[in-house]
Structure 1
């Protein structure tokens, strides 16, 4: 039976537009497709897909790749060898299923990784991957040479770790209305559809340097939603973080990460803000010991935290330190402590490791001491460098990667003035360490070098 999406009259068209309006916050077109099927009696459907899998299901190699879930919605066993998947309308049998059957009501996960594995029936992989920007996708009946489930011209743009599929109350014979789902359920019955994504939390105080205490309030358009916040760099979840109950006083250097949760909605995007109080920055860990939650060491090194009291209390400098702190731009990197210092998975504690497996999510804020506009962007964080990666070196350099899986695909900001580049795929911080300080006191250390 040829099953294609189409708008079913004025009623479905109005319902579709209303669904789109409700879900525009999911990334433009990540919304309910109020599309109907002719007949809707085929035994198989594409019940769920994930086109941007950043923290979910892993394949047999430990990789997080795209996936497609097939469900047998009939009451009979279905021989899969008669079916194919394709993301190319001109090549409908692009990837064929092996000789394998699917029981009534059963689910099958096919990884859309491009690895092209059909022989191993325990882990099937297509020879194509899915575009998170949306693309054509079809389940083909090879005996008829026709699609039995077709997303045309494309499924909508997808967001990280949000699956797209048939809602929990869908039944065979009903129009295939595919929507963003509240949670990904590969190999299991689908979750209910989301009503939308909660709006962005509004902070009453701008990020940056502060000279006096202030009352911080958090606001959200959806009055029934719950806001949770953290001050340790971790991302709030439904169960983790302080429940926001009203304004509170901020009187010292503080990092706030806030996120909203509501029944039937995807959580809001995490908002991160750093508040810097110069008066306590210069008093951080005056004895050199770790602040609460920080490790005593990573690797074979001796860690000396904080500001040197011999400098900040020196009469020659004590009236200059706040002006000095504000005189140059500051970067605030905010991430879960374990992303840096966990002995097995932390990138700072395992600085010689590299590559995408050793990239961790972070918030990046550029803060100017004069109050001029900086930026905040979510990015991927890695250690970079050569000699400085050694475990007996306490300081490591960072590289930031800007990807759409974190948020914005590029950093757009004139970091180097009006005549410099204004868009960046990645950015290095604290590089050329051999030329700024010398761990071993080597005489060839330049101590200062202009970057070209």
Structure 2
């Protein structure tokens, strides 16, 4: 395994130092909203993994009308890079799991590769890897023909139609994108991140009359809004203030709202 050069990484405000292998680093970090993980070699050779999505439900379709996972590469250099023989993989122990055809990525070009499992390598048209990306999180590794790791990402769990990418393009920090930008610039300003999801005190099930359900949010400055009819909560739904009695069959859905953040994912329970 090629070792990254001595270099600093940032993880939740803490600098991580000195030549960690991609595999050991990827297994030691948990999923976070902002993460820098890119060896120096990525920029010296012009290519970087710029954005990826592991659960594409409706963001971008391939030529078959399917919605596969995708990986976006960016040529950060000033000249084209011929990528024939480069490897792309979801396994650092098998860096040449999928091999690029003899094509070039132009300077400044954003190239989307579908991680569909369809294994298509045309000289013109859409590229498809022979692997998919698990939404629970997988490392992605880009390797040059000599076996040197060019770039890599650590496993990050992703929600449906949420991507993970760099701000600025080719830069040091990673963010979740709730408005993904496959094949386009990610912009220069960090996107708004979602509020923490609310926590319901009881799992779905049947309970004795007068049982009370409490809803909390890890962020005390966020407001929890909820519905009791199965509807998706919105910014006009009822605000949770007091425990809710479970006196009849009821579907409760809740989401957290905080100024300057996107709404959290919706949490649903049936009682």
TM-score normalised to structure 1 length:
0.45
Pair 1:244-2:239 in alignment: yes
Which of residues 194, 198, 201 is equivalent to 1:200? 198
* Cα distance, 1:218 vs structure 2: 4.7
Q: Secondary structure at the match of 1:149?
A: strand
Separation (CA, whole Å) in 2 of partners of 1:245 and 1:197: 16
**Structure number having the greater helix percentage:** 1
Q: How many residues align?
A: 251
Please state if 1:160 is matched with 2:159: yes
Asked if the contact 2:37/2:152 (under 8 Å) is kept, the reply is: no
Whether contact under 8 Å (2:111, 2:183) holds in the other structure is yes
> Match of 2:44, SS?
coil
Q: Which residue of 2 aligns with 1:233?
A: 230
| CA–CA separation in structure 1 for the residues paired with 2:97 and 2:261 | 37
Structure 2: runs of 5 or more not aligned: 17-28
Cα distance change on mapping 1:107 and 1:243 into 2, 3 Å: farther
- Alignment of 1:257 with 2:232, yes or no, is no
Equivalent residue, structure 2, for 1:329: none
Displacement of 1:271: 3.1
- Structure 2 match to 1:346: none
Tell whether 2:8 aligns with 1:8.
yes
- The match for 1:140 is 143
Name segments (4+ residues, structure 1) moved above 6 Å.
Answer: 214-217, 248-252
1:42 maps to what in 2?
Answer: 45
Tell me how far apart the structure 2 counterparts of residues 199 and 125 of structure 1 sit (CA, whole Å): 34
Residue 119 of structure 2 is aligned to residue 116 of structure 1: yes
Q: 1:94 to 1:221 in 2, by over 3 A?
A: closer
The yes-or-no answer on 1:30 pairing with 2:31 is: yes
Unaligned runs of at least 5 residues, structure 1: 19-27, 275-452
Which structure: larger Rg?
Answer: 1
Distance 1:134-1:248 versus aligned 2 partners, 3 A rule? closer
Aligned to 2:168: 169
Deviations along 1:108-154, one digit per CA (max 9) or x if unpaired, are 21111211011173321011222344444222232x44221134xxx
Q: Are 1:57 and 2:65 an aligned pair?
A: no
Rounded to whole Å, the distance in 2 between the matches of 1:268 and 1:36 is 29
**Is residue 2:182 matched to residue 1:186?**
yes
Specify the SS of the correspondent of 1:165.
strand
**For the Cα contact (< 8 Å) 2:70–2:115, is it kept in 1?**
yes
Q: Using structure 2 for the length normalisation, give the TM-score.
A: 0.69
Does structure 2 conserve the Cα–Cα contact (< 8 Å) formed by 1:83 and 1:140? yes
Distance (Å, rounded) in 2 between the aligned partners of 1:122 and 1:131: 25
Counterparts in 2 of 1:62-73, with a 5 A limit? 62-73=65-76
Structure number with higher strand proportion: 2
**Structure 1 contact 30–180 (Cα < 8 Å) conserved:** no
> What is the alpha-carbon root mean square deviation over aligned residues?
4.1
Q: Assess, with a 3 A threshold, how the Cα gap between structure 1 residues 75 and 235 changes in structure 2: closer, same or farther.
A: farther
SS in 1 for 2:84: helix
CA distance in 2, matches of 1:243, 1:17: 42
Q: Which has the higher contact order (CA 8 A, sep 6+)?
A: 2
The verdict on how the C-alpha distance between 1:17 and 1:226 changes in structure 2, with shifts beyond 3 A counting, is farther
Change (3 A) 1:29 1:217: closer
Report the secondary structure of 2:87's partner residue. Answer: strand
Decide whether the 8 Å contact of 2:223 with 2:240 is kept in 1: no
Correspondence 1:36-435 to 2 at 5 A: 37-38=39-40, 40-54=43-57, 56-81=59-84, 83-119=86-122, 121-142=124-145, 144-151=146-153, 155-161=154-160, 162-166=162-166, 168-169=167-168, 172=170, 176-190=172-186, 192=190, 198-202=196-200, 208=206, 218-236=215-233, 242-244=237-239, 246=241, 254-262=250-258, 263-264=260-261, 267-274=264-271
Give CA-to-partner distance per residue, 1:55-99, whole Å, 9 cap, x none: 543333333322111112223333343633123445433323334
